[in-house]
């Protein structure tokens, strides 16, 4: 009887070693696949949100501190992050808004979907260091397809980048894309023409 126990013991150890080798091989394959795919950029679609290269009509609003705020228009470059209550991704992206905006020389704004601040205060939006505006009008004006959605406006109020963002890397990528497009447009003289249209 002890011989059978010894055989089963050896067989079990052989199975454990084999399983360990398989797990290591699978982990290596997953790591290789992850490196090949890499981080994906923001989901930018021509059919969603405000058109690239155009300036949405400025919208006057009041932020959660009771101060007047103007979304869009010639004045300051802005990074708008559209969020909504119950959006788990919004809560993950919002903390990085201020840092991403600072890196791109932009003024950060959180645009909350509803008109009532209490519901969004539970998300703690005020702690992210960005001015927060509750306005369904802005959501409608910018044709926001869903949240979290980011829009980068240059100092002339022109849309330089937009897209659905699910993490900080995508938000930073959107800011970099906007900066690149701004350089291209300034080299082509588009900024001067845009300034003439908006002034």
Q: What is the pLDDT of residue 11?
A: 85
Instruction: Please give the Cα distance from 100 to 133 (Å, whole number).
Output: 19
Judge whether residue 34 has pLDDT over 60. Answer: no
Arithmetic mean of pLDDT, 136-146: 92
Instruction: Please give the Cα distance from 186 to 124 (Å, whole number).
Output: 38
Arithmetic mean of pLDDT, 86-106: 91
Contact between 161 and 178 under an 8 Å Cβ cutoff? The reply is yes
Judge whether residue 163 has pLDDT over 90. Answer: yes
Instruction: Please give the Cα distance from 129 to 163 (Å, whole number).
Output: 22
**Crossing angle of helices 168-187/190-198, nearest 10°?**
90
Q: What is the pTM of this model?
A: 0.72
The torsion angles phi and psi of 167, rounded to 5 degrees, stand at: -160, 175
Q: What is the pLDDT of residue 4?
A: 75
Confirm or reject CATH 3.40.630.30 for domain 59-198, answering yes or no: no
Instruction: Please give the Cα distance from 86 to 122 (Å, whole number).
Output: 10
Judge whether residue 95 has pLDDT over 60. Answer: yes
Among 25-29, 56-60, 177-181, which stretch is predicted with the lowest mean pLDDT?
Answer: 25-29
Which of 167, 199, 156 is CA-nearest to residue 100? 167
pLDDT grade, residue 145 (50/70/90)? Answer: very high
Angstrom CA distances, 100 to 8, 43, 84, 159, stand at: 59, 17, 20, 17
Mean pLDDT of the chain: 82
Contacts of 18 (CB under 8 A, 6+ apart): none
């Amino acid at each position: 009887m002890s011989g059978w126990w010894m055989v089963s013991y050896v067989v079990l150890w052989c199975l454990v070693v084999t399983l360990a080798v398989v797990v290591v091989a699978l982990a290596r394959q997953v790591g290789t696949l992850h490196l090949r795919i890499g981080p994906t950029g923001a989901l930018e679609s021509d059919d969603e949100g405000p058109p690239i290269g155009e300036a949405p009509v400025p919208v006057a609003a009041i932020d959660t501190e009771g101060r007047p705020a103007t979304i869009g228009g010639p004045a300051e470059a802005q990074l708008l992050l559209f969020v909504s209550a119950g959006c788990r991704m919004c809560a993950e992206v919002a903390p990085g808004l201020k840092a991403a905006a600072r890196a791109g020389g932009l003024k950060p704004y959180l645009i909350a979907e509803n008109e009532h601040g209490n519901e969004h205060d539970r998300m703690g939006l005020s702690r992210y260091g960005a001015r927060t505006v509750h306005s369904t009008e802005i959501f409608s004006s910018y044709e926001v397809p869903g949240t979290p959605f980011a829009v980068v406006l240059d100092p002339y109020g022109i849309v330089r980048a937009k897209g659905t963002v699910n993490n900080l890397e995508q938000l930073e990528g959107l800011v970099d894309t906007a900066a690149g497009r701004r350089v291209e447009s300034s080299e082509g003289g588009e900024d001067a023409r845009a300034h003439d249209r908006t002034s």
